[in-house]
Structures are given as structure tokens and as C-alpha cells.
Amino acid sequence: MKNIKAVIFDADGLIIDTERTMPFILRDVMAEFGYSPPDFVQWYYKNASGCRDDLVVQKLVKEFGIEVNQATIKRFNEYRDAYYQVNPPQVKPGFFELLDFLKNKRIKLAICSSSRSEQLYNKLELAGVLVSDFDVIIDGSMVENPKPHPQPYLLACKKLGIKPKNAIALEDSNHGIESAYRAGLNVISVPDVQVNDAEKIKLACYTLNSLDKVIALL
């Protein structure tokens, strides 16, 4: 891949291994409030993975008729934070190898995540990822239109001072792939626990099984 000036990472399911546990955490909290939708974990991976929390709520209400209020959200945040304090998120294979390579090449680095600021920084810190390694960090609270809308990646490129065609987006989810593609970036898919939809796979330049495999493309 030529003329690449920046690499932009998704966070959950791409840098840190949180997507594997998130639907189970949400399922357990829902059960506390009396909701136990069948096949919820698979539904989450297909429909909500990579979404900002307000979009997840909208999908829950529409799909299952779940009543979500401040008490529900407060309990979910408490449950999630307590879980990660005991079970810190792990970094995905190949991340640090790729990070060192990109830093040595002086390629600009960014994170573009659907997680809101406090959640994102907390998870990265628990996983041992230094935010100071990145030139730009875009979180879900910084945009009006979250993934799969292109706005998050367009904002990341603007703050990096580069054109989208000169950036690589590393994504694991359907929503993330679509967001980066619509913004005009070169997309590399590194699938997590859920296989991407066939039409989303076609939007990616490459599909790799670990982040360190990106090195060979640069």
C-alpha cells in the first residue's frame, strides 16, 4: 500500500479484547431487570458490535421492547467497570508489534472508537495501552453521527491533517468497516469473535487474522 501517512485503529475488539465479553455483561445486567432475550449474544455480535451505546439502546428497544432508563444504564456501567477491574482487558495479538513498527516508520497514529471518552481511556489504561502513543484519539462523544456513519473517520483524518485516501483504517466490526469505507479510507479488516457480513468484507482491501500481519503490507 503506497502513500500511507497514517494508521487509524478501532479500539474494542481490535486493540483490546473487550467485544468477547461485552454481550455477556449486557445480557447479565438485562437479566437483573427481568429481560432474557433468546440468542442475545449472537444478536449482539451481528447487530450491535461496534455501535455507540445510544445506538445499542435504540436497537434493544426496537428489537426486544426493553425499557432502558437511567437505572438500567447506571447499573450496566457499574457492572462493566467492576468486571474489568477484576478481569482487565487484554491487548489483541500483534498490536504492540505493529505499534512499534509504525512508530519507527514515523507514520501518524490515531484511535477512532465508538466508546465514550471515560470508558475508552479506562479500558486502554487497564490493558496497558498508552494513549500518548497516538497523535489523535476520537471517541464516541466527539461526533453527532457515530459509526457506521463516516463522520468519526472524517474527523480523525481532519485532526491528523491528512486526506482519507492516505490513511489505513483497522477495523473488526461491520459498522466500523462501513464507516471507514464511506469516509474514503483504505480499510483492513481484522475480524474478532464474529465473522463479518459478506458485503462488508468486500469493502475491505484486506482481511487479516492478526494485527502484526499489517506490517507486510507497508
Q: Are 198 and 20 in contact (CB under 8 A)?
A: no
- Judge whether residue 195 has pLDDT over 80: no
- In what helix (H) or strand (E) does residue 64 lie, and over which residues does it extend? helix 53-64
Cell of 165: 485516501
Asked if the peptide bond before residue 148 counts as cis, ω within 30 degrees of 0, the response is yes
Which letter, b or e, does each residue of 1-40 get, where b requires 16 or more Cβ atoms within 10 Å of its Cβ? eeebbbbbbbbbbbbbbbbeebbebbbebbeeeebebeeb
Q: Are 187 and 169 in contact (CB under 8 A)?
A: yes
- Judge whether residue 1 has pLDDT over 90: no
Which value, in Å, is the radius of gyration of the alpha carbons in the chain?
17
For the chain, report the end-to-end CA distance as a whole number of angstroms: 6
Strands 167-171, 136-138: pairing is unpaired
> What are phi and psi for residue 94, nearest 5 degrees?
90, -5
**Architecture category of domain 22-86 in CATH:** Orthogonal Bundle (1.10)
Please tell me the pTM assigned to this model: 0.92
Distance CA 58, CA 60 (A): 5
- Give the model's pLDDT for residue 153: 98
Q: How high is the mean pLDDT of the chain?
A: 94
Q: What is the pLDDT of residues 84-116, one digit of tens each?
A: 999 999 999 999 999 999 999 999 999 999 999
- Give the model's pLDDT for residue 4: 97
Domain ranges within the chain, ordered by starting residue: 6-18+89-217, 22-86
- Give the model's pLDDT for residue 214: 97
Please list, in sequence order, all residues whose beta carbon lies within 8 angstroms of the beta carbon of residue 117, skipping any fewer than 6 positions away: 139, 140, 141, 142
Strand boundaries in 73-118, DSSP class E:
108-112
CATH number for the region 6-18+89-217 comes to 3.40.50.1000
